[in-house]
């Protein structure tokens, strides 16, 4: 079976070309055609010798998964696509033409990519988490999600916040990041990349050593360990204090400020006293907290807090001196449910 070319890094591809007696710049040409010029076959790479094109075609593929479904929000701010991985499996990718974490709009186009089909972490408020884990995506499948949207127009940011826990698929995630930031790849600035995790300590420590200046968002979702374990059942026995320590080390190594994400669930973790407890734990750390009012997707018993509850939580955090924002949401009718398109597809396949 042919190997997908984007499952190799550029250095690995160049090393492979070396065994064929081809110089490195040929590997760079292939990367440029595949990622920036949107070539769908080696035949289109007209500045490569015909013999090389044919050799590439015999050994590699650069096919991309086709779209099964797309949805665009009424204000055009958000587009979601369901990509077909074959064998009944599919993943979601979203483009947001605004910055969900800073409320700025100008010049931003952010792709939210998935790293796994399903997810084993099982967060009780997440549609993907309720589906269970199917498999890790390959680097090529992660890169293909960005490619799908860059074929339409340039993008500025990529967030690893879609389906799956990126740090549980570390090698493929890192390979994809290298293609994103490599000058011969997509050439996206490192600061435009953010990895979002429930807080897997060892992989965070590993990421801190990769000499990358990418952002890190760690999901807290609770002011205390007991509630956090209930909301995020399979994140291991890590404590909030251990997470904060790991975040601080990441920050020191990369010079990037950590964001802590906090999904607000009505009556579960949105009380003012819970905000005060959280603020006390976070006080003194140069961090940012992003409050995310829950979008009902997974549990029948979970609800989005009313705006005044969100504001009250925000006020408590700010009074305590914690740098806190509420996530901007546009195109809410489709952005709401990460994993929802896939859920619908799985439901349909079970009922037809
Ligand atoms: S929120 Fe993220 S980590 Fe939690 S179950 Fe969903 S995809 Fe997995």
In order of their start, the domains of the chain are: 3-61 (1.10.150.530), 67-351 (3.20.20.70)
What is the model's pLDDT at position 328?
72
Q: Which of 45, 53, 62 lies closest to 4 in space, CA to CA?
A: 62
Q: If you measure from the C-alpha of residue 164 to the centroid of ligand 1, how many angstroms do you get, rounded to a whole number?
A: 6
The single residue of 92, 141, 165, 266 carrying the catalytic annotation is 92
Q: Is 199 in the pocket of ligand 1 (CB under 6 A)?
A: no
Q: If you measure from the C-alpha of residue 261 to the centroid of ligand 1, how many angstroms do you get, rounded to a whole number?
A: 12
129 Cα nearest atom in ligand 1: 5
The angle at the Cα of 176, spanning 174 to 178, to the nearest 5 degrees, equals: 70
- pLDDT (tens digit, 0 to 9) for every residue of the chain, 352 residues total? 899 999 999 999 999 999 999 999 999 999 999 999 989 999 999 999 999 999 999 999 999 999 999 999 888 889 999 999 999 999 999 999 876 555 555 678 999 999 999 999 999 999 888 889 999 999 999 999 999 999 888 999 999 999 999 999 999 999 999 999 999 999 999 999 999 999 999 999 999 999 999 999 999 999 999 999 999 999 888 999 999 999 999 999 999 989 999 999 999 999 999 999 999 999 999 999 999 999 876 566 899 999 999 999 999 999 999 999 998 766 555 554 455 555 555 555 544 4
Q: Is 198 in the pocket of ligand 1 (CB under 6 A)?
A: yes
Q: Is 162 in the pocket of ligand 1 (CB under 6 A)?
A: no
Q: Is 177 in the pocket of ligand 1 (CB under 6 A)?
A: no
The single residue of 112, 119, 126, 338 carrying the catalytic annotation is 338
Exposed, middle or buried by CB within 10 Å (0-12, 13-18, 19+), for 70?
A: middle
Interstrand relation of 3-4 and 60-61 (parallel, antiparallel or unpaired): parallel
Q: If you measure from the C-alpha of residue 19 to the centroid of ligand 1, how many angstroms do you get, rounded to a whole number?
A: 42
What is the model's pLDDT at position 337?
47
196 Cα nearest atom in ligand 1: 2
119 Cα nearest atom in ligand 1: 8
12 is catalytic: no
Q: Is 159 in the pocket of ligand 1 (CB under 6 A)?
A: no
Q: Is 302 in the pocket of ligand 1 (CB under 6 A)?
A: no
pTM metric for this prediction: 0.92
What is the model's pLDDT at position 254?
95
338 is catalytic: yes
């Amino acid at each position: 079976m042919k190997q997908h070319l984007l499952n190799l890094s550029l250095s690995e591809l160049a090393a492979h070309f070396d065994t064929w007696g081809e110089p490195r710049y040929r590997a760079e040409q292939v990367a440029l055609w595949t990622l920036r010029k949107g070539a769908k076959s080696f035949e289109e790479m007209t500045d490569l010798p015909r013999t090389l094109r044919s050799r590439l075609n015999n050994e590699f593929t650069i096919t991309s998964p086709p779209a099964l479904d797309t949805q665009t929000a009424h204000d055009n701010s958000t587009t979601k696509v369901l990509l077909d991985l074959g064998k009944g499996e599919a993943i979601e990718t979203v483009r947001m033409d605004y910055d969900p974490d800073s409320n700025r709009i100008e010049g931003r186009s952010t792709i939210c990519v998935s790293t796994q089909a399903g997810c084993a972490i099982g967060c009780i408020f997440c549609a993907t988490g309720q589906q269970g884990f199917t498999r890790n995506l390959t680097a090529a499948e992660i890169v293909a999600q960005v490619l799908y949207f860059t074929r339409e127009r340039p993008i500025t940011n990529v967030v690893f916040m879609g389906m799956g826990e990126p740090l549980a698929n570390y090698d493929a995630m890192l390979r994809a990041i290298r293609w994103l930031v490599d000058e011969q790849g997509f050439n996206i600035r490192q600061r435009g990349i953010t990895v979002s995790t429930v807080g897997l300590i060892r992989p965070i420590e590993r990421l801190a050593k990769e000499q990358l200046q990418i952002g890190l968002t760690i999901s807290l979702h609770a002011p205390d360990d007991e509630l956090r374990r209930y909301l995020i059942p399979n994140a291991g026995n890590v404590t909030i204090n251990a997470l904060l320590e790991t975040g601080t080390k990441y920050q020191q190594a990369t010079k990037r400020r950590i964001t802590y994400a906090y999904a607000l669930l009505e009556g579960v973790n949105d009380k003012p006293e819970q905000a005060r407890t959280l603020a006390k734990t976070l006080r003194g750390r140069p961090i940012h907290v992003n409050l995310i009012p829950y979008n009902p997707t997974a549990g029948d018993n979970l609800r989005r807090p009313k705006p005044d509850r969100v504001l009250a939580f925000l006020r408590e955090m700010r009074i305590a001196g914690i740098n806190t924002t509420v996530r901007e949401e546009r195109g809410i009718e489709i952005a709401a449910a990460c994993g929802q398109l896939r859920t619908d597809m799985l439901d349909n396949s079970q009922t037809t």
